């Protein structure tokens, strides 16, 4: 179903834990180490810790509009106040069930019904009456124009991301994106998080095609 319901392709909790453990193993240099009972234990720093949770949120994504599964979390005082991932609206058929005409046909982009991860995080907070002003957003993919404007309007103070967005934009568009994202009070920062290839933040196109044909 849609962005707030169970996905068709269920992923086991054990599988997610294994993938996130591998991410942590590949990023132990980012945090610090503590000595306990003769062992050195790696502790992730706050950026790595929060972004890894955003990566876990992305596993629920089902939108096929772009190449990436996207997860976003809103954070205040290092506490998560809302989460979101890209996909169709709640109670709507998801993309793998041909719920979005654009994702199914790749024609008429304006007919896309999918909601971006950052938008879903903001909307979820609004739905449950959670104030987001001065919060930070950790999102697996750099926000687009629309999401950047909405995050600014919601008074988000900082944006952290792993995967850059907008490589296919013109130079003028890329400059415009930099200018709008420069408006965040605490800026926009790319987190150098190593994500192993077996952790699927990128959709398996062959599986998607098979799923859509079956639908």
Question: End-to-end distance of the chain based on CA atoms, in angstroms?
Answer: 13
Give the DSSP H/E element, type plus range, for residue 188: strand 188-190
In angstroms, the Cα distances linking 75 to 51, 57, 147 are 11, 14, 16
Phi-psi region of 110 (alpha: psi -120 to 50; beta: other; left: phi over 0): alpha
Write out the two tokens for 110. Answer: 């304006």
Catalytic annotation, pick one of 48, 97, 118, 136: 118
Question: Would residue 118 show up in a list of annotated catalytic residues for this protein?
Answer: yes
Question: How, if at all, do strands 136-141 and 188-190 pair?
Answer: unpaired
Contact 141, 55 (CB under 8 A): no
The CA distance from 192 to 164, in Å, is 11
Which residues carry out catalysis?
Answer: 118
């Amino acid at each position: 179903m849609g962005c707030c319901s169970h996905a068709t392709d269920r992923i086991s909790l054990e599988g997610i834990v294994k993938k996130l453990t591998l991410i942590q193993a590949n990023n132990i240099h980012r945090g610090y180490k503590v000595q306990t009972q003769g062992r050195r234990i790696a502790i992730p720093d706050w950026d790595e810790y929060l972004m890894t949770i955003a990566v876990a949120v992305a596993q629920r994504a089902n939108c096929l509009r772009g190449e990436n599964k996207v997860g976003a979390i809103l954070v205040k005082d290092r506490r998560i106040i809302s989460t979101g991932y890209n996909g169709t609206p709640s109670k709507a058929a998801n993309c793998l069930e041909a719920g979005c005409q654009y994702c199914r046909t790749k024609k008429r982009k304006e007919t896309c019904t999918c909601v971006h991860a950052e938008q879903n995080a903001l909307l979820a907070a609004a739905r449950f009456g959670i104030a987001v002003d001065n919060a930070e957003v950790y999102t697996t993919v750099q926000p687009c124009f629309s999401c950047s404007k909405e995050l600014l309007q919601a008074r988000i103070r900082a944006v952290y991301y792993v995967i850059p967005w907008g490589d296919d934009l013109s130079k003028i568009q890329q400059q415009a994106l930099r200018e709008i994202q420069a408006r965040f009070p605490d800026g926009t920062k790319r987190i150098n998080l190593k994500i192993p290839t077996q952790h699927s933040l990128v959709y398996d196109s062959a599986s998607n095609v098979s799923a859509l044909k079956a639908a």
